[in-house]
A and B are shown apart, each in its own frame.
Chain A
Amino acid sequence: MTSILTRRSVSAVPAAALMAVVLNGHLAAQSETRSFADLSIEELMNETVTSVSKKEQPLFDSAAAISVLSNDDIRRSGATTIPDALRLVPGMDVGTVNSREFAVSSRGFNFVFSNKLLVLVDGRAVYTSLFGGVYWDLQQTMLEDVDRIEVIKGPGATIWGANAVNGVINVVSRSAKDTQGGLLYAGGGDVYQEMGGVRYGGRLGENTYYRVFASYRSNDDYPLANGQSADDQWQGRTAGFRIDHYPDPDTHLTWQADVMDVRSDISDGYDVNTLGRWTHRLPAGSSVEVQAYYDRLYRNESNRSAPLTDTFDLTAQHTFGIGDRHDVIWGAGYRFIDNLIKQTTPLNTVRDGQFQTQLFSAFVQDEFKLVPNRLTLTTGLKIEHNDYTGIELQPSIRIAFKPTKTQTVWAAVSRAVRTPDAVDGRDTLGVVVGPPAPGPGGGLYLPEIVGNPDLKSEVLWAYEMGYRFVPVSQVSVDLAVFYNDYSNLITFGETADFVPGVPVGTLELPWMNSLSGHTYGGEMAVTVTPSETWRLIAGYSLLLQQLHGPAGASRDTARTPPTHQITLRSSHDLTKRATLDVQFRYVDQIDGVPGYVTADIRFAYRLTERLELSLVGQNLMDNRHPEQAVSPITTISEVPRGFYGKLTWSF
Chain B
Amino acid sequence: MDLIPQGTRVRKSGRFFTVLLWLGLLALTGPAAFGADHAVSKEYQLKAAFLYNFSKFVQWPPERFTDEKSPIVIAVLGDNPFGDELENAVRGRLVNGRSIIIKIIDRLEQAGAAQVLFVEAKEERRLGDSLALLHRAGVLTVGETRQFAAMGGIITFTLAEDKVRFEINQLAGEQAGLKINAQLLKLATPVRKSS
In the bound complex, do residue B27 and residue A36 qualify as a contact, i.e. CB atoms below 8 Å apart?
no
Neighbour of A248 across the interface among B36, B53, B161, B192, CB < 8 A: B192
The answer, yes or no, to whether A37 is at the interface (CB within 8 Å) is yes
B165, CB-defined interface residue at 8 Å: yes
The verdict on B146 contacting chain A, using a C-beta distance below 8 Å, is yes
Q: In the complex the two chains form, is B24's CB within 8 Å of A406's CB?
A: no
Are A46 and B163 in contact, CB atoms less than 8 angstroms apart? Answer: yes
Once bound together, how far apart are the Cα atoms of A359 and B28, in whole Å? 44
Chain B residues with Cβ below 8 Å from A26 are 39
A116 in contact (CB, < 8 A): no
Residue of B12, B20, B57, B162 near A14 (CB, 8 A) is: B162
A485 interface residue, CB < 8 Å from B? yes
Main secondary structure of the interface of A (DSSP, over half): mixed
Cβ < 8 Å to B, chain A residues 151-173: none
The docked-state distance in angstroms from the alpha carbon of A481 to that of B13 is: 12
How many residues belonging to A are interface residues under a CB distance threshold of 8 Å?
Answer: 60
Q: Which of B2, B57, B165 contacts A459 (CB 8 A)?
A: B2
Pick from A26, A45, A479 the residue with the most CB of B within 10 Å.
A45
Q: Given A14-B160, A483-B13, A520-B16, A469–B31 Cβ distance below 8 Å?
A: yes
**Most interface-central of B24, B50, B184 (chain A CB within 10 A):** B24
CB contact between A404 and one of B2, B9, B32 (< 8 Å): that residue: B32
Q: Which residues of B contact A471 (CB under 8 A)?
A: 31, 34-35
- Render B1-41 as a binary contact track against A, CB cut-off 8 A, 1 for contact: 11001000100110011001001100110011011111101
Q: How many interface residues does chain B have, given as a range?
A: 35 or more
A472 within 8 A of B: yes
Contact at A207–B43, with CB atoms within 8 Å?
no
Residue of A41, A52, A472 ringed by the most chain B CB atoms within 10 A: A41
Assembly CA distance A105 to B16 (angstroms): 24
CB distance from A505 to the nearest CB of B (A): 38
Mark contacts of B162-195 with chain A using CB atoms, 8 A cut-off: 1 yes-contact digit, 0 otherwise: 1111000000000000000000100100111101
Q: What are 20 A-B pairs at a CB distance below 8 A?
A: A14-B160, A16-B162, A28-B42, A29-B42, A37-B89, A44-B53, A45-B187, A46-B163, A49-B163, A52-B43, A207-B192, A249-B146, A249-B195, A404-B32, A405-B36, A406-B35, A471-B35, A473-B38, A479-B27, A485-B9
Residues of chain B whose beta carbon lies under 8 Å from any beta carbon of chain A: 1-2, 5, 9, 12-13, 16-17, 20, 23-24, 27-28, 31-32, 34-39, 41-43, 45-46, 48-50, 52-53, 57, 88-90, 93, 146, 159-165, 184, 187, 190-193, 195
Residues of A in contact with B (beta carbons under 8 Å apart): 1, 13-14, 16-17, 26, 28-29, 35-37, 39-42, 44-55, 147, 174-175, 177-178, 206-207, 248-249, 393, 403-407, 409, 459, 461, 463, 465, 467, 469-473, 479, 481, 483, 485, 487, 518, 520
